[in-house]
Structure 1
Amino acid sequence: MGNTVLEPSTSTVAVGAEPPPQDVMPTAKVVINAIDNKEFF
């Protein structure tokens, strides 16, 4: 299961063992939040 950390988040989602850490992809959270607020730019 330790390999899932090195592999991309897509592998983690497929395995479903545990959700990907938000600290690793802070940009993704910002983009999702921006889209939710409809203020991408």
Structure 2
Amino acid sequence: MQNDQITIYETENGETNIDVKLKNETIWLTQAQITTLF
């Protein structure tokens, strides 16, 4: 995974996980990713 990518995946038990790489202490998410996160 590159430093500027976020990976969202669902585990077998249905939990959502988000892998985040920080760049300059900033995280950028799309609206869909924010919805999944919260």
Asked if TM exceeds 0.5, the reply is: no
Q: Which has the higher helix share?
A: 1
Structure 1 length normalisation: TM-score? 0.27
Q: Which has the higher strand share?
A: 2
Structure 2 length normalisation: TM-score? 0.28
Q: Report which of the two structures shows the higher radius of gyration computed on alpha carbons.
A: 1
